């Protein structure tokens, strides 16, 4: 099993920044305790501690265990005997943090447990199984689903297509714990953002009907939207290049919870308050649920039909997807649908509610078997014809001429030598993943109502059933690079400090502990780096690296971050602020777009941000009038001054939503 990235929930990333680093261990400890099957151990973590355990395993084994997060959110990292990080697990805040992996080599595997964001509290770790890896694909999936099987936990539904035939479809665990309903391949579940490709098909069908064009201005159908002086086309909405703020990252500024009801009129009203687009339409890819919420309204207004009956009549029923529908409002009864769950603070599970107010971006409730019928439509084009399939799978092109990895409601790219159509989905309770490989007519769909489920197991399932049709998988270049002459202690010391991405607000702080370099991006856990020369480092378990530039005097003031491109970084020189300087930022601020108020106070030398719906959080000084906010939706705070040098307000940003203005109120 490959290293896991922390999953994002329906566009609300736990770390709302441009980089998705995994959380890695911060401090090594000298001794390690051996984990044996069935023998649990309880312990406590302090803010700076790290606990190390070992598992002795032969090659070709399946290993599964969990860390029960009793009162602390933990990160679990697994390292193979060779030193390769094979998994980093960090999903729920409470309950079991499961870890599972296959062994490729015999020896001692290290399991390291660290607190997330320097939290502290108690946990209990247990190794559940250390058994032979199954070679039969169906039995191997049974192994992978061990953590989600049984009558006492939410479950998973899986379906696999090979050579155009359904070769596997099965449910694990429970669809409903209260009523004792097991999960099956016919259990309905919210597929979250996997829904977007269906909304895209609806738009393409209406274009075929002559009722709209992909290049129409959205205001042709929703004229009450603000005129920004440049058209935002339906195509811009479909490939995430519109420039609208991300509604799910915007509304939390007002204390909005992900499951709060929101009418389509409310969505439009929030957009109307946006003072300007975040980018010129077509110039920048920025994943955007706002756009697909608007597209559902376009479908309704262009067709003259409500979204749910239109989707059922034009897409689901013609494909025989008889157990698929649209959830459009909270409380809607969908027969055969699973209940969503989260981990309860006192152990066990509790009910949670999925989104319903943003259908179009989400909203499709489907089954594992029904989703294989949708896969086959990419081959057979029964709905829409070949023209529609070609449009859905043609990647977007920015005004710069660059091609994105996203088509119309669908990711399109290569994986192990094959073209892949894919999309992931995650809401407050449900997790899903869809992948179809048109050149070999194979696909995988997984969906779960378990809060700890990792969608990344899809690649193990694909490999088990049709891996022989895929190219061999290579380790990331960052993991294959053999270390050369490493940095001296003086060079490591010169590197330490905070670095800001040029032209962006994201900051990474590099520190050294026990002769090893660590980094921590804005509002993220720390991660470890391996030296590949005296000035180049690779992130452990992540395909990214960084190059530092030494000046003539040996100091380091700049560098280059490599991750899907090259991004220059510059050192931020530390500037201590006096309490008097900090006091200039205190006061009440009115965020007009959402008609909400924030208060900045000075407490024990710390600048604190307060809102009626949230616990106070600290503002950490970055440079000048720029700060890092201590809550996921306000990662970047920049204050502005009037001509007299007095603070006049601030802008708040979080990656997908940028530059939300809050003006300082008069006393």
Q: Go through the domains of the chain in sequence order and give each one's CATH number.
A: 1-133 (2.60.120.380), 189-243+278-469 (3.40.710.10), 480-572 (2.40.128.50), 579-664 (2.40.128.50)
Residue 519: HSE in the Cβ half-sphere, 13 Å Cα cutoff: 26
Evaluate if residue 478 carries a pLDDT over 50: no
Longest dimension (CA), the chain: 73
pLDDT above 90 as % of the chain: 67
* Average pLDDT of span 196-225: 98
* Band of pLDDT at residue 561, cut at 50, 70 and 90: very high
CB 456 within 8 A of CB 5: yes
* Average pLDDT of span 175-192: 96
Distance CA 149, CA 142 (A): 9
Evaluate if residue 15 carries a pLDDT over 90: no
Distance CA 617, CA 607 (A): 9
DSSP classification of residue 312: I
Q: Length of the chain, please?
A: 667
Scored b (16 or more CB within 10 A) or e, 392-426 reads bbeebebeeeeebebbbbbbbeeebebebbbbbbb
Q: Alpha helix locations (H) across 45-103? A: none
* Average pLDDT of span 554-571: 88
In order, the DSSP letters of 458-514 are HHHHHHHHHGGGSPPPPPPHHHHPPP-S---HHHHHHH-EEEEETTS--EEEEEEET
Beta strand residue intervals within 60-186, DSSP E: 61-69, 74-79, 85-89, 95-102, 107-115, 121-132, 156-162, 165-172, 174-176, 181-182
Distance CA 210, CA 212 (A): 6
Higher-pLDDT residue of 484, 644: 644
Evaluate if residue 301 carries a pLDDT over 50: yes
User: Where is average pLDDT lowest: 433-442, 534-543, 547-556, 611-620?
Assistant: 534-543
Question: Helix, strand, or coil here: 599?
Answer: strand
User: Where is average pLDDT lowest: 11-20, 203-212, 466-475?
Assistant: 11-20
CB 27 within 8 A of CB 47: no
Place of tokens 């025989």: 320
Q: Alpha helix locations (H) across 304-395? A: 307-311, 368-380, 385-392
pTM over 0.75, yes/no = yes
Q: How many CB atoms lie within 10 A of CB 650?
A: 27
Q: What is the pLDDT of residues 249-291, one digit of tens each?
A: 999 999 988 777 788 888 999 999 999 999 999 999 999 999 9
Q: How many CB atoms lie within 10 A of CB 198?
A: 22
Higher-pLDDT residue of 354, 51: 51
Q: What is the pLDDT of residues 448-464, one digit of tens each?
A: 999 888 888 999 999 99
| H/E segment holding residue 290 | helix 289-303
Question: Helix, strand, or coil here: 152?
Answer: coil
> What are the backbone angles phi and psi of residue 288, rounded to the nearest 5°?
-150, 110
Q: How many CB atoms lie within 10 A of CB 438?
A: 17
Evaluate if residue 476 carries a pLDDT over 50: no
Name the region of 459 (left: φ>0; alpha: ψ -120 to 50; beta: rest): alpha
pLDDT score at 164: 97
pLDDT score at 83: 79
* Average pLDDT of span 178-194: 96
Strand order in the sheet with 189-190: 189-190, 364-366, 325-326
Question: Helix, strand, or coil here: 585?
Answer: coil
Sign of CA dihedral 331, 335, 337, 339: positive
User: Where is average pLDDT lowest: 264-278, 336-350, 386-400?
Assistant: 336-350
Evaluate if residue 477 carries a pLDDT over 60: no
Q: What is the pLDDT of residues 511-531, one digit of tens each?
A: 988 788 988 886 566 778 888
Distance CA 173, CA 152 (A): 7
Evaluate if residue 572 carries a pLDDT over 50: yes
pLDDT score at 243: 96
385-392 and 196-208 are packed helices; what angle lies between their axes, rounded to 10 degrees? 130
DSSP classification of residue 296: H
Q: What is the pLDDT of residues 394-440, one digit of tens each?
A: 999 999 999 999 999 999 999 999 999 999 998 888 999 999 999 99
DSSP classification of residue 397: B
User: Where is average pLDDT lowest: 247-256, 350-359, 631-640, 652-661?
Assistant: 350-359
Distance CA 275, CA 661 (A): 9
Question: Helix, strand, or coil here: 316?
Answer: helix
To the nearest 5 percent, what fractions of the chain are helix, strand and coil?
20, 35, 45
Distance CA 243, CA 592 (A): 19
* Mean pLDDT estimate for the chain: 89
CA 99 to chain CA mean position, Å:
18
Evaluate if residue 28 carries a pLDDT over 70: no
pLDDT score at 446: 98
Distance CA 21, CA 574 (A): 24
pLDDT score at 456: 84
CB 376 within 8 A of CB 384: no
Evaluate if residue 19 carries a pLDDT over 80: no
Distance CA 359, CA 369 (A): 22
Distance CA 149, CA 156 (A): 8
Structure tokens at 366: 């489907």
CB 334 within 8 A of CB 171: no
Place of tokens 């075929």: 208
pLDDT score at 563: 82
**Closest listed residue to residue 181, CA positions, set 155, 163, 158:** 155
Name the region of 124 (left: φ>0; alpha: ψ -120 to 50; beta: rest): beta
Question: Helix, strand, or coil here: 561?
Answer: strand
pLDDT score at 486: 81
Q: How far is CA 75 from CA 170, 370, 463, in A?
A: 30, 35, 27
DSSP classification of residue 365: E
pLDDT score at 524: 67
pLDDT score at 50: 84
* Band of pLDDT at residue 474, cut at 50, 70 and 90: low
pLDDT above 70 as % of the chain: 92
Evaluate if residue 47 carries a pLDDT over 80: no
Structure tokens at 260: 């709060």
Higher-pLDDT residue of 47, 660: 660
Distance CA 642, CA 646 (A): 5
- Is beta strand 51-57 parallel, antiparallel or unpaired with respect to 33-34? parallel
Distance CA 18, CA 521 (A): 10
């Amino acid at each position: 099993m490959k290293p896991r990235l922390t999953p994002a929930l329906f566009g609300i990333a736990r770390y709302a920044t441009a980089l998705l680093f995994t959380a890695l261990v911060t401090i090594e400890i000298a001794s390690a305790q051996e984990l044996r099957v069935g023998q649990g151990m309880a312990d406590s973590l302090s803010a700076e501690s790290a606990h190390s355990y070992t598992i002795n395993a032969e090659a070709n084994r399946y290993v599964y265990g969990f860390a029960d997060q009793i009162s602390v959110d933990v990160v679990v990292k697994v390292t193979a005997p060779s030193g390769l990080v094979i998994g980093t697990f960090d999903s729920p805040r409470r309950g079991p943090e499961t870890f599972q992996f296959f062994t490729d080599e015999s020896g001692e595997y290290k399991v390291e447990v660290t607190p997330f964001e320097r939290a502290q509290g108690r946990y209990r770790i247990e190794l559940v199984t250390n058994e032979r890896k199954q070679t039969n694909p169906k039995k191997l999936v049974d192994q992978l689903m061990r953590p989600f099987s049984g009558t006492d936990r939410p479950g998973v539904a899986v379906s696999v297509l090979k050579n155009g035939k359904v070769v596997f479809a099965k449910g694990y665990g429970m669809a409903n714990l209260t009523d004792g309903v097991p999960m099956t391949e016919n259990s309905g579940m919210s597929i979250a953002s996997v829904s977007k490709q269906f909304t895209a098909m609806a738009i393409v069908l209406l274009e075929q009907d002559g009722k709209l064009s992909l290049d129409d201005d959205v205001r042709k159908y929703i004229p009450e939207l603000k005129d920004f002086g440049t058209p935002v086309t339906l195509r811009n909405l479909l490939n995430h290049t519109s420039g609208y703020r991300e509604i799910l990252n915007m509304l939390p500024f007002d204390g909005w919870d992900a499951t709060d009801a929101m009418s389509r009129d409310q969505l439009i009203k929030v957009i109307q308050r946006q003072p300007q687009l975040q980018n010129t339409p077509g110039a920048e890819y920025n994943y955007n649920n706002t756009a697909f919420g608007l597209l559902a309204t376009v479908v309704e207004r262009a067709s003259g039909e409500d979204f749910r009956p239109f989707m059922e009549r034009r897409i689901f029923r013609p494909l025989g997807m008889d157990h698929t529908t649209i959830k459009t409002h909270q409380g809607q009864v969908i027969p055969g649908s699973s209940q969503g769950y989260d981990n309860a603070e006192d152990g066990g599970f509790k009910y949670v509610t999925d989104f319903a107010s943003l259908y179009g971006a989400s909203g499709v409730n489907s089954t594992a078997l029904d989703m294989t019928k949708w896969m086959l439509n990419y081959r057979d084009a029964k709905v829409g014809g070949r023209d529609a399939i070609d449009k859905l799978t043609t990647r977007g092109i920015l005004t710069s001429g660059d091609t994105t990895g996203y088509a119309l409601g669908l990711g399109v790219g290569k994986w192990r030598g094959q073209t892949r159509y894919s999309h992931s989905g995650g809401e407050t309770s449900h997790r899903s993943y869809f992948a179809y490989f048109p050149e070999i007519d194979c696909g995988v769909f997984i969906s779960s109502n378990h809060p700890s489920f990792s969608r990344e197991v899809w690649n193990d399932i694909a490999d088990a059933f049709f891996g022989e049709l895929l190219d061999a998988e290579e380790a990331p270049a960052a993991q294959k690079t053999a270390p050369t002459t490493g940095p001296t202690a003086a060079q490591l010391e010169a590197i330490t400090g905070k670095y800001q991405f040029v032209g962006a607000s994201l900051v990474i702080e590099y520190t050294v502990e026990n002769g090893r370099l660590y980094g921590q991006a804005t509002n993220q856990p720390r991660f470890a780096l391996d030296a590949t020369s005296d000035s180049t480092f690779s992130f452990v378990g992540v395909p990214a690296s960084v190059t530092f530039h030494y000046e003539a005097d040996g100091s380091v003031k700049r560098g280059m971050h490599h991750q899907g491109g090259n991004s220059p970084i510059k050192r931020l020189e530390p500037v201590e602020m006096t309490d008097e300087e900090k006091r200039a930022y205190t006061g009440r601020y009115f965020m007009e777009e959402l008609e909400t108020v924030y208060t900045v106070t000075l407490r024990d030398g710390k600048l604190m941000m307060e809102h009626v719906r949230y616990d106070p959080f600290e503002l950490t000084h970055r440079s000048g009038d720029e700060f890092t906010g201590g809550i996921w939706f306000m990662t970047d705070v920049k204050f502005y001054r009037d001509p007299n040098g007095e603070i006049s307000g601030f802008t708040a940003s979080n990656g997908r939503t940028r530059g939300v203005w809050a003006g300082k109120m008069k006393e």
